[in-house]
């Protein structure tokens, strides 16, 4: 005897209806769970991407001063000897400005025959030229800046300086990185909150953060700055925040 024969037609219709209700309920529950999952996924996938900027002006902590000169003589040997004598005098003058002998790094001297561009004969005693100098590297930034303004003392001592080139550096970047990164991140969050308020949402948790490169430039520009004592340090971070 078949199983359906145990139930009346009315009972069979009732059982079919119950099965349909159970199946429909299962579909509704599954649909609700899927909708909730999609909603949560979209909620996580929605974010605001902003950039935060931090700038700080600092004072250089290192300086280099490149000084070079040349002398003329009748022979290569005489030119080399005259150059060495002038170099010692120049070093003595620089040390008298408050620097240390360990700050000075001599550059190789170059000796070559002196030739007039127009082909005219070279004056006696000026056939050979010796050229060179030294680099002063020090943490006495203010002293270098002041000394460079008083370089006429070299001319007064008979030293014709052909090149006087100064560069200033800031080398302690690691000491200000943490606070600058925090400032850049705070700046990014302020921007995110502004965008979120305009869009009718709220800023949620931090999703990702990318640190940009630190740049060093002149205080009033975005490039250069090697010859300025004060430096502008700049960093830009890219941050993503989830929205609620």
177 belongs to a structural domain: yes
5 within domain boundaries: no
Q: What's the chain's average pLDDT?
A: 83
CATH number for the domain spanning 220: value is: 3.30.110.170
Length of the chain: 244
Last residue of a domain, one of 169, 194, 229: 169
Per-residue confidence (pLDDT) for residue 45, from 0 to 100 = 67
Task: Indicate whether 188 belongs to any domain.
Answer: yes
Kindly tell me if the per-residue pLDDT of 190 is higher than 60: yes
Ranges 19-33, 146-160, 200-214: which has the least confidence: 19-33
pLDDT grade for 8, boundaries at 50, 70 and 90: low
Higher pLDDT, 37 or 7: 7
Kindly state whether residues 237 and 147 are assigned to the same domain.
no
Among 89, 36, 95, which Cα is nearest to 65's?
A: 95
* pLDDT for 115: 84
Q: Is the pLDDT of residue 37 over 50?
A: no
Would 36 be classed as within a structural domain? no
Contact 166, 150 (CB under 8 A): no
Residue 1 lies in a domain: no
80 and 164 in a single domain? The answer is yes
Residue 232 in any domain: the answer is yes
183 domain-assigned: yes
Per-residue pLDDT for 121 more than 70?
yes
Q: What is the pLDDT of residue 105?
A: 96
Q: Whole domain around residue 186: which residue ranges? A: 46-59+173-243
- Residue 51 sits in the same domain as residue 91: no
Total domains in the fold of the chain: 2
Write down which residue in 169, 185, 212 finishes a domain: 169
Which of 116, 136, 169 is a domain's end point? 169
DSSP characters over 94-154: HHTTT--GGGEEEPPPEEEE---TT-PPPPTT-SEEEEEEEEEEES-HHHHHHHHHTTHHH
Distance (Å, rounded) from C-alpha 74 to C-alpha 72?
A: 7
Note whether 84 and 158 are same-domain residues: yes
Point out the least confidently predicted range of 1-5, 96-100, 111-115.
1-5
Q: What is the pLDDT of residue 19?
A: 47
User: Among 74-78, 156-160, 234-238, whose mean pLDDT is lowest?
Assistant: 156-160
Enter the pTM of the model.
Answer: 0.72
> For position 93, which CATH number holds?
3.30.70
């Amino acid at each position: 005897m078949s199983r359906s024969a145990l139930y009346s037609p009315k009972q069979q219709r009732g059982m079919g209806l119950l099965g349909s209700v159970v199946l429909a309920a299962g579909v509704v529950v599954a649909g609700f769970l899927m909708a909730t999952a999609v909603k949560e996924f979209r909620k996580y996938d929605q974010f605001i991407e902003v950039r935060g900027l931090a700038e700080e002006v600092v004072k250089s902590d290192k300086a280099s001063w490149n000084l070079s000169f040349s002398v003329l003589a009748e022979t290569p040997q005489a030119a080399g000897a005259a150059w060495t004598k002038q170099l010692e005098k120049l070093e003595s003058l620089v040390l008298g400005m408050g620097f240390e002998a360990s700050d000075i790094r001599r550059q190789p001297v170059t000796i070559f025959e002196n030739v007039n561009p127009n082909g005219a004969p070279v004056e006696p005693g000026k056939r050979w030229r010796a050229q060179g100098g030294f680099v002063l590297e020090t943490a006495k930034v203010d002293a270098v800046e002041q000394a460079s303004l008083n370089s006429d003392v070299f001319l007064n001592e008979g030293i014709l300086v052909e090149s006087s080139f100064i560069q200033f550096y800031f080398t302690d970047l690691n000491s200000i990185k943490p606070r600058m990164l925090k400032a850049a991140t705070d700046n990014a969050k302020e921007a995110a909150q502004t965008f979120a308020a305009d869009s009718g949402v709220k800023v949620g948790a931090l999703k990702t953060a990318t640190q940009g490169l630190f740049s060093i430039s002149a205080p009033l520009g975005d490039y250069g700055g090697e010859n300025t004592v004060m430096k502008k340090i700049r960093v830009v971070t890219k941050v993503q925040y989830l929205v609620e």
